[in-house]
Amino acid sequence: MKISPREIATPCPQMSLNVPQGLTQVEFFNSPANLKNLAEENGLFRTPEDLLMYRKLVGHSVEFDTSIILDTSRRILDPLGRPVRRDQMKRQEKKVWSKMTQIICDYMFEKYPDPGEHLVLCGEASLDSTWPLNKPGVPSIRMIHNHFMVFPMEQLRNAKEADPNNPNLTDSGHNTLFLMHLSDVYRQFLEVLDLQILSLLPAEDAALSLTGYPQGLPCWEVQGGPAKLHDQYFWYEYEQVLRGFLDFYRTFFSLVATGEERIPDDANFPNQIHEVLLGNNRFLRVARNLRERVIQDPQFANEIRWRPAYKQILFRDDNGRLIVTISQNSVGNAITELLGIVVKRQVDSNAYAAVEEGLVTRLLEVRERLLAAGLGEAISAPCWPNGAYRSCR
């Protein structure tokens, strides 16, 4: 079977959102009213810290698909002032966030134990607060969020090959910056992290045999497998990977923006920045070439995210290993595309209705585990008013 990215079609129902006249959908999506609607129509669970778990109505997978966001829309009305990265969360928020992630991942690994039958992943992403509100493709909810998904491998094997030049696979060309020009120095910089549980793998060793993705990104194996998600030190190391990425991103784009070789004021690893990045001629040359392109090409300049935006994922590879990787997030492409999976959502209410009960039942099963852990309270929605599925179409 040819190694290539795959494109799958996922059915979804027609959304019944009433966007006020004069507002674009993107503008409405960033409003507190939309978050209120999301919780009332598709909310599953909320914690005292306002971590909201909800059903992804326009989702990636109809096997298992849910998200958690830090819903600060009722506390912080300015959408540009909301937390978009884990390093902006409070300690208690991060603690509960990690606990919820561990519980949902435990459920997925127990429910889908065979890597040959199901691809299991969870992906945490920032939503860059500097992205223009009216920009096409802008992330719709400006808060940190975590996706949890399962795909049947048979569906992926039978899917058509995706165009490798699809903008969503290439981050509109931005990921080639890391892949083609900075992969070696990026990996070298992250190698200096002092990690005990996360073990850096040889290049491409963790790539899925079906798609060949992720490409050119540093990947770490979680030594000890899913059980290590119960270890608080794992979450410390998981955050160290993020902090290393943030240093790389800030240093590079500061150099692009100003032309000055300097260590960012809020750097986590200043010595490594000085020795590995600012001492690397290729790193400096690529930044200066990009700077010149930004000056000359207004369309390209409009695509740049000057503030750090990332996708950090946990996924199970072909060998059953739990893998961590991290990438920049330039144009709001989906978390699945790091693994070479392009999802086309198709409005098909009948097809969705045929799978909705099974999907919702699984989401309610995992919600019971969150309730048992005492992390928060269940939310009643039209399709699960009393803790069980009921058709609401």
Longest CA span, the chain = 62
Q: Distance between CA atoms of 249 and 253, rounded to whole angstroms?
A: 6
Selection from 189, 338, 180 nearest residue 251 by Cα: 189
Q: Which residue has the higher pLDDT, 97 or 37?
A: 97
Q: What is the pLDDT averaged over residues 41-65?
A: 95
Selection from 43, 114, 11 nearest residue 364 by Cα: 43
Confidence tier at 332 by pLDDT (50, 70, 90): very low
Task: Check residue 335 and give its pLDDT.
Answer: 83
For residue 27, what are its two tokens? 């503008």
Task: Check residue 32 and give its pLDDT.
Answer: 81
Cα–Cα distances in angstroms (integers) from residue 165 to residues 172, 299, 337, in the given order: 9, 18, 12
Residue spans of the domains in the chain: they are 6-170+194-228+308-378
Selection from 195, 179, 175 nearest residue 330 by Cα: 175
Q: In this predicted model, what pLDDT tens digit does every residue of 148-162 receive, in sequence order?
A: 999 999 999 999 999
Cis amide leading into 382 (omega within 30): no
Q: In this predicted model, what pLDDT tens digit does every residue of 213-249 receive, in sequence order?
A: 888 788 999 999 999 999 999 999 999 999 999 999 8
Question: How many residues can be counted in the chain?
Answer: 393
Task: Check residue 347 and give its pLDDT.
Answer: 93
Q: In this predicted model, what pLDDT tens digit does every residue of 240-280 receive, in sequence order?
A: 999 999 999 899 999 999 999 999 998 999 999 999 999 99
Confidence tier at 377 by pLDDT (50, 70, 90): very high
pTM of the predicted protein model: 0.92
Q: In this predicted model, what pLDDT tens digit does every residue of 92-106 receive, in sequence order?
A: 999 999 999 999 999
Q: Exposure pattern of 106-117 as b/e (b: 16+ CB <10 Å)?
A: bbbbeebeebee
For residue 4, what are its two tokens? 């290539």
* pLDDT at 380 > cutoff 50: yes
What percentage of the chain reaches a pLDDT higher than 90? 61
Task: Check residue 168 and give its pLDDT.
Answer: 72
Task: Check residue 331 and give its pLDDT.
Answer: 46
Confidence tier at 1 by pLDDT (50, 70, 90): confident
Residue recorded with tokens 């920009």: 135
* pLDDT at 171 > cutoff 70: no
Q: What is the pLDDT averaged over residues 308-316?
A: 89
Q: Which residue has the higher pLDDT, 155 or 85?
A: 155
Q: Which residue has the higher pLDDT, 274 or 304?
A: 274
Residue recorded with tokens 């999301």: 38
Q: What is the mean pLDDT of the chain?
A: 88
